[in-house]
Each structure stands twice: as C-alpha cells, then as structure tokens.
C-alpha cells in the first residue's frame, strides 16, 4: 500500500510559528496547478504499481484552490494509479476559506476527510499565532463541515505557545470532544519564525516548561476521559478514525510527494522537490519542451538521498515507536534481517524495563516511555 501527498504552496499570510514552504503571491496558482498535473503524470510509475490507499492535500493552504481544481488532481491520480477500494482522501483546510458555498462544493468532490487548522478558539491566541481566521470562523467551519456530512473530521490545535493558559487549553479541547480525530501539536519554536524573533527580543514570553508539561498531562487525561485513542505522539482518534495517510509514513510505506518541497520515499531512496514555486514550474515547462522526458538524470528540482539499510532501520524505529502499535518484529526480520532483530534485543537491555512492552510480535513504549521516545529510539539505532 502506498500514499500520495500533494503540496499546495500558498498562504495568504505566514503564521508566526510556521516553517512549512509557502508563498503569499498566488498569481502563479493556475500555472502551478498545471505543473502539479504534469508531475502526477510524469511520476506515475514511482510507486511501482503499489495500490494507493491515501491521497493527502497539504500545505500551505490547499483551500486556496477551488474544489473543482482539487477534483482535477484527484481525477488525474484516479486515471493513472492503482487504487484501494477504501481510499482516504484528505484536504487540509483553513477555517476562513470554509464558507458554506465552498464546503457545499467540496462535498461534491471525492474528498472524504477534512483536517481543519483551528489552533485555538481564542482571538487573542490566533493573533499571537498570526492566523488569518477568527474564533467565530473556527467554530462555524466545524458546524458547516458537519452539516455537509464530513463525518471523518480532524482538528489541529496547538499548545505550549505564549499566552495559552491551562484554562484556555481546557476550553479549546472541550470544544472538540465530539470530533473523530484531533492532532494536538506542542509548539516547535522554529529559528526562522517571527515568533522566535519576538520571544528573543522580549516582545513575547515563552511558556515555562512546567506549564507545557501541565498542558500535555491535561491533554492525556482529556483523551482518556473522552475515549480518544492516543495512537501517535500528537494524534488522537475515536475507534477506526486513525489518519491512514500519516500512519503509513510511520509504517515504512511508499509515498510519492507532488509539488514544491514535497518529499518522496520508495524504500531505496528519499527525494525532495525544490522549495521554490517559480523554479519548480520552470523546470517542468523546460522538461515538456525538451525531447528528453527523463526525470531521473535531473537534480535541478529534486534532491535525492540513497538510503542504506541502517538508515532505513533507524528511521523505522524512530517513527514506529511514536505510535501505539510500536515496531513489528516480523517486519524487522523480513525487511532488515535477523541481525537487526538481534541488535534491537541487545540494546533493549540498556533501557529501563518500565519504558517498554516487548511481546512476541512487537516492541511498544509505555506511557512513561512515551515521554522519552526520542531518547529510547536513539539508543536502539544501529
Ligand atoms: C503545515 S500546517 C498546514 C495546515 C493549514 N495550512 C493550517 O495551518 O491550518 C499543519 C499543522 O501543523 C501545525 N504546525 C505547523 N507549524 C508548527 C510548529 N512550528 N509547531 C507546532 N505545530 C505546528 C499546525 O497545527 C498546523 O495546523
Ligand atoms: S500554519 Fe498553515 S496557514 Fe499558517 S503559514 Fe503554515 S501552512 Fe500556512
């Protein structure tokens, strides 16, 4: 099984904390959509005929595209790839774009999962985060998505950022207790972000570590109380509502990344597209006008890293241990070999026994171990 990620590299306004690639100039939108369609076509063999189980439109702001433009790309994928009968097609959505008319048109497309970037239900938090939407739009977007039968809904919230108190965090979480899936991200303070500059210059105060831990503990108890399954560090869902797309990243599945800055992985190498809309468009224009359609020889828009078995094993350990399922011992034996399994068992003897559960089929972390997931994974690396 494989996944396709399509990156929509536009945001009308850059949020103060964000480091994902996007441009505010949307004058290239039409050209970019054409180029995305070209890339889908030219890279149709990348997944080696593996069945596509998920398509994910991420950003940037995919909802800056019209629903029929999104459907055009879905149609291209449908016509070129082998598809699962139960394909999950997710669209990341910004609340200010989700008007009733927009959602109505979206409901006529093949999108069957919406992931709305709410972050907070407080206007002053949204201002701190540099979000373009209001708290009212955040609430309305959820009601509208439900009205138009998006029954596989995911909401993004953030915590640990300046100005978010425990009381506000409790309020934010309780607003979404009936949603199928929630992603709760602790703020990563990106060095290149405006928020980092503001904190560095004393304009905003960073949240003390003990308050962030308190917010995390509340999140865990909230999830238990409302029967959310904590299936990955930042992800929680009601039964059967895991994100199939993100789950495949953590289980070593193949994925094809389309668009500027998108990453691809085929178990032999990882490659990533240039983070520059103009250069991305120009490259494909030149390619189409040349007689040689060979993508492989080019390193202008793609950078590529060949992965050794050690690198792949380390990556698998790192990502799978962050999930509730942990890493599969059968999978390690089949895909990496017996010596890796032996290495894993040996290294485990250096780790506190209450940090993990080792069964005949898997290695998982306990709730206590989860707090040290990165350290434990690094201790198991080859
Ligand atoms: C890349 S964004 C794309 C979704 C959409 N553009 C939006 O922002 O609503 C996906 C999510 O990543 C999270 N995120 C982005 N940068 C982050 C950071 N520096 N720290 C924590 N979470 C972050 C936000 O919660 C955001 O909703
Ligand atoms: S968080 Fe989302 S809307 Fe904000 S800049 Fe990043 S990608 Fe764009």
**Closest ligand to 119 CA?**
1
Q: Minimal CA–CA distance to 31: which of 289, 279, 272?
A: 279
Q: How far is the CA of 225 from the centre of ligand 1 (A)?
A: 26
288 Cα to the center of ligand 1, angstroms: 34
Average pLDDT, the chain: 95
In this structure, the residue with its CA closest to atom 4 of ligand 2 is 15
pLDDT of 300 reads 52
Residues with Cβ within 8 Å of residue 174, at least 6 apart in sequence? 222
pLDDT at residue 52, as a whole number: 98
**95-105 pLDDT, tens digit each:** 999 999 999 99
Looking at residue 301, its pLDDT comes to: 67
Q: Report residues whose beta carbon is within 6 angstroms of any ligand 1 atom.
A: 17-18, 20, 58-59, 61, 92, 94, 117, 119, 156, 158, 185, 187-188, 190
The confidence score (pLDDT) of residue 288 equals: 84
* pLDDT value at 298 more than 60: no
pLDDT above 70 (res 297): no
Rg for the chain (alpha carbons), in Å? 21
pLDDT tens digits along 138-162: 999 999 999 999 999 999 999 999 9
Share of the chain above pLDDT 90, in %: 91
What's the token pair of residue 185?
A: 């991200």
Query: Ligand 1 centroid vs 209 CA: distance in angstroms?
Result: 21
Domains in the chain and their CATH numbers? Answer: 2-250 (3.80.30.20), 310-380 (1.10.10.920)
> Hey, CA dihedral for 164, 166, 172, 176, is it positive or negative?
positive
User: Taking a C-beta distance cutoff of 8 angstroms, is the pair 259, 273 a contact?
Assistant: yes
Mean pLDDT check: name the lowest of 39-53, 182-196, 281-295, 347-361.
281-295
Half-sphere exposure of 16 (CA within 13 A, CB side): 19
Atom from ligand 1 closest to the CA of residue 193 = 19
User: pLDDT by residue (tens digit) across 36-90?
Assistant: 999 999 999 999 999 999 999 999 999 999 999 999 999 999 999 999 999 999 9
The answer, yes or no, to whether residue 299 has pLDDT greater than 60, is: no
User: Residue 309 — very low, low, confident or very high, per pLDDT cuts 50/70/90?
Assistant: very high
Q: What mean pLDDT is predicted for residues 171-188?
A: 97
Residue 251 pLDDT:
84
Mutate which of 6, 92, 113, 249 for ligand 1 pocket (most atoms within 8 A of beta carbon): 92
pLDDT confidence tier of residue 23, bands split at 50, 70 and 90: very high
Q: Is the pLDDT of residue 116 over 90?
A: yes
Q: Looking at ligand 2, which atom is closest to the CA of residue 92?
A: 2
Per-residue confidence (pLDDT) for residue 151, from 0 to 100: 96
pLDDT classification of 296: cutoffs 50, 70, 90: low
d(CA 112, CA 150): 7
What whole-number distance in Å separates Cα of residue 81 and Cα of residue 44? 7
Beta strands in the chain (DSSP E): 2-8, 52-59, 83-93, 113-119, 153-159, 181-186, 229-232, 235-237, 254-258, 263-265, 269-273, 302-306, 327-328, 356-358, 362-365
Pocket of ligand 2 (CB under 6 A): 11, 14-15, 18, 20, 22, 59-61, 94, 117
Please identify, by atom number, the ligand 2 atom nearest to the C-alpha of residue 14: 5
Ranges 269-273, 282-286, 350-354: which has the least confidence: 282-286
Reported as a pLDDT band with limits 50, 70 and 90, residue 221 is very high
**Residue 143 to residue 151: CA distance in whole angstroms:** 11
Which residue of 10, 18, 216 sits with most ligand 1 atoms within 8 Å of its CB, as the best mutation to test the pocket?
A: 18
The 263-265 sheet, strands edge to edge: 229-232, 235-237, 181-186, 153-159, 113-119, 83-93, 52-59, 2-8, 254-258, 263-265, 269-273, 302-306
Output the residue whose Cα is nearest ligand 1's atom 16: 18
What is the Cα–Cα distance from 192 to 176, expressed in whole angstroms? 31
């Amino acid at each position: 099984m494989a996944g396709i990620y399509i990156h929509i590299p536009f945001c009308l306004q850059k949020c103060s904390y964000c480091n994902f690639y996007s441009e505010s100039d949307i004058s290239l939108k039409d050209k970019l959509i054409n180029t995305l369609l070209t890339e889908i076509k030219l890279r149709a063999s990348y997944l080696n005929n593996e069945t596509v189980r998920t398509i994910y439109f991420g950003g940037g702001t995919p909802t800056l595209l019209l629903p029929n433009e999104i459907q055009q790309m879905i149609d291209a994928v449908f016509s070129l790839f082998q598809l699962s009968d139960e394909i999950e097609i997710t669209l990341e959505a910004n609340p200010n774009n989700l008007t009733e008319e927009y959602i109505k048109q979206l409901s006529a497309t093949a999108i069957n999962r919406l992931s709305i970037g709410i972050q907070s239900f407080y206007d002053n938090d949204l201002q701190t985060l540099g979000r373009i939407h209001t708290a009212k739009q955040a609430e309305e977007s959820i009601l509208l998505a439900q009205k138009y039968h998006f029954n596989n809904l995911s909401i993004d919230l953030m915590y640990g950022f300046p100005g978010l108190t425990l009381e506000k965090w409790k309020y934010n979480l309780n607003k979404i207790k009936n949603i199928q899936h929630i992603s709760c991200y602790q703020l990563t303070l990106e060095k290149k972000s405006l928020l980092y500059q503001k904190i560095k210059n004393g304009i905003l105060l960073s949240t003390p570590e003990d308050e962030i831990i308190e917010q995390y503990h509340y999140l865990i108890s909230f999830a238990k109380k409302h029967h959310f399954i904590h299936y990955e560090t930042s992800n929680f869902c009601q039964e059967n509502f895991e994100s199939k797309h993100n789950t495949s990243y953590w289980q070593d599945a193949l994925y094809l990344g389309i668009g500027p800055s998108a990453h691809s992985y085929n178990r032999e190498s990882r490659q990533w597209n240039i983070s520059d809309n103009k250069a991305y468009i120009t490259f494909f224009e030149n390619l189409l006008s040349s007689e040689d359609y060979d993508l492989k020889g080019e390193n202008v828009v793609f950078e590529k890293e060949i992965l050794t078995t050690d690198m792949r094993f380390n990556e698998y350990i790192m990502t799978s241990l962050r999930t509730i399922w942990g890493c599969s011992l059968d999978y390690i034996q089949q895909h990496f070999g017996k010596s890796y399994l032996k290495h894993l068992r040996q290294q485990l003897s250096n780790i506190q026994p209450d940090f993990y559960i080792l069964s005949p089929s898997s290695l998982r972390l306990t709730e206590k171990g989860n707090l040290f997931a990165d350290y434990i994974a690094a201790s198991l690396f080859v």
